[in-house]
Structures are given as structure tokens and as C-alpha cells.
């Protein structure tokens, strides 16, 4: 066992007994929305997973410890501190741990820590990917690299809509990451149910997804599986409206010369402002939807391994 890893007893017992567990990230708590809405959302996500018969494991770095299964008090701490807690990707883990600092884990860091603990399923909102203008900035999320080498199924509503979805799909293909569409043949566009980009394979049930995961890893193939789950239709935002909001936000970001890991928080906040909160409501709805599907996949996977 990694000496820096601290697994919640409930999660530890579930893993020992081969019960379904779903990993959850913490960046969405500290950087995704204001307090106390962030904490309320995080705890509701956990309840959705529990109600489906699985165990939630919110992951974060707290005072130098890799926490797998944060307590309600730790979730509240992450929510209250908000953006004061740095976003933590793979590159940041050793520094934060060595300094006994805290970090809100991104998709990449959450996937890595979940895999360390032996958790095969992870639910999030949307993954990072290739940013618009990456041919000049080379701004490509480490989420894609992590998916290429870590054995985990990530359930999401596609890549964040602020990204270049076509280039993101190209990188995933190059890395050998299967992009599965749950009951869809096209990549969901985060706030919208569909994009113009086809997924690799369409699957109709959690059981089919669990079977693919098992088969891939039994074949000795490294890397994860990306399960894309469209936002429920009643919560989606018209593509034309959201594309206009993203374009406006992106132009302002460029004019302000905002770069690096500050781009996503700025763009999401600006889009929320432009859409008068509709984008945040959509974000919350899709996270709930992904948590539900992830719990079903985790249950199906636990039954066949």
C-alpha cells in the first residue's frame, strides 16, 4: 500500500469485498462553483451513487495525504476554501504531498489516485482536452495522457465544450483510448447532447461497457476507457447559443492574455455570466447523470470480475 494513500474505511471495506466503488474528483468542488452550492452538489452526487448501490469515493489531497473517500467535513473544507486550494494534476502531486499541502484533484490526478486504490470507475463532468488555438499554444490537458496509460473507466459528458472537440478526439485516437458513446453515436458536447464528431463505439447498456473494460484489461492493453454520456435533453443548451457564448468568452480571454491552468476557470465563469446561470445548471445536471451511470457500470463490473 502506498504510504501516502489514505483510504476511507467505508471505501476500503467495499474494495476488500469487491463491492462497486465510484471515484469522484474534487476540482469541481473547489473551482467549479460557489460555496455552499459546491458542497451541496458534491454531497448529492455521493447520495446518487449510494442510492444506486455503490460507494462514492471523493478524492483530494488534504495536508499531504492522498484522500480516497473524503468525509463530509473534508468536502466542506474543500468547498469553503474554494480557489485558495490549488488545482492538482499528476505533475503537482509529489510537490503538494512533500510540502503537506492540499490540492483539488483534476481528472488526471483523480484517475491516477483512484487507480492506486484499485477503483476502476470514475465519474466527472467533462474531461480536459485540446484547447482552441493549441496549434500555437500547445495547450493540451494532461487528462488525455492519463487516459492513455491508467486503467480506469471515466464517465463524462464529453470533453468540456470550451475545447477543440475535433482535435481532442484525434489525440484520444492516437493514444489508443476507446471513446464509447452511451446510447449515442456522436460525442456529446458537454452542455449539448451531441457534436459533429462520431465516437468509436456505441454501447447501449452498463453491462456492455463493463464487459469491454474487463476484456481490454484482460488482453493486457494499457490505458482507460472514456464513456461519454449525453446531458439529459431537458437540461441541454441549444448548440448555437452555447457556441456563441463560448466564442465571446474565448475572445475576452485572449484579449486579457489569460493562459495555462487559469483558462478553464475563467471561461466557465464567463460562460455562466453570459448564459445567466444556465451553463452552471446544465453542468450540475450532467454531473448527476454521469454519477448515476458510473454507479451502474461499477455494479456491472463488480459482478463479472
CA atoms within 13 A on the CB side of 103: 26
Instruction: Decide if 160 is catalytic.
Output: yes
Instruction: Decide if 204 is catalytic.
Output: no
> What is the bridge-based pairing of β-strands 65-68 and 55-62?
antiparallel
Q: Which cell goes with 239?
A: 448548440
Q: Which residue in 52, 87, 146, 160 is the catalytic one?
A: 160
> What is the bridge-based pairing of β-strands 153-156 and 121-123?
parallel
Residues with catalytic function: 25, 160
Amino acid at each position: 500500500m502506498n504510504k501516502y494513500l489514505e483510504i476511507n474505511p467505508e471505501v476500503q471495506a467495499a474494495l476488500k469485498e469487491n463491492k462497486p466503488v465510484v471515484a469522484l474528483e474534487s476540482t469541481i468542488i473547489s473551482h467549479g462553483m460557489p460555496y455552499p452550492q459546491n458542497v451541496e452538489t458534491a454531497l448529492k452526487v455521493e447520495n446518487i451513487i449510494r442510492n444506486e448501490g455503490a460507494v462514492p469515493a471523493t478524492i483530494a489531497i488534504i495536508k499531504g495525504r492522498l484522500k480516497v473517500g473524503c468525509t463530509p467535513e473534508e468536502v466542506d473544507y474543500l468547498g469553503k476554501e474554494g480557489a485558495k486550494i490549488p488545482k492538482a494534476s499528476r505533475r503537482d502531486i509529489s510537490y503538494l504531498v512533500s510540502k503537506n499541502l492540499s490540492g483539488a484533484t483534476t481528472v488526471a490526478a483523480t484517475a491516477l489516485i483512484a487507480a492506486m486504490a484499485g477503483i476502476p470507475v470514475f465519474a466527472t463532468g467533462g474531461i480536459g482536452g485540446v484547447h482552441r488555438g493549441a496549434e500555437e499554444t500547445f495547450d493540451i490537458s494532461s487528462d488525455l495522457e492519463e487516459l492513455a496509460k491508467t486503467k480506469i473507466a471515466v464517465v463524462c459528458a464529453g470533453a468540456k465544450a470550451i475545447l477543440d472537440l475535433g482535435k481532442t478526439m484525434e489525440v484520444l485516437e492516437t493514444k489508443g483510448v476507446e471513446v464509447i458513446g452511451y446510447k449515442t453515436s456522436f460525442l456529446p458536447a458537454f452542455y449539448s447532447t451531441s457534436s459533429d464528431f462520431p465516437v468509436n463505439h456505441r454501447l447501449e447498456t452498463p453491462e456492455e461497457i463493463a464487459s469491454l473494460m474487463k476484456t481490454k484489461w484482460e488482453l493486457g492493453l494499457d490505458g482507460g476507457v472514456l464513456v461519454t454520456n449525453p446531458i439529459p435533453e431537458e437540461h441541454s443548451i441549444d448548440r448555437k447559443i452555447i457556441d456563441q457564448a463560448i466564442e465571446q468568452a474565448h475572445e475576452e480571454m485572449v484579449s486579457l492574455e489569460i493562459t495555462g491552468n487559469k483558462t478553464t476557470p475563467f471561461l466557465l465563469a464567463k460562460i455562466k455570466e453570459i448564459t445567466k446561470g444556465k451553463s452552471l445548471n446544465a453542468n450540475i445536471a450532467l454531473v448527476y447523470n454521469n454519477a448515476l451511470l458510473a454507479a451502474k457500470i461499477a455494479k456491472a463490473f463488480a459482478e463479472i470480475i
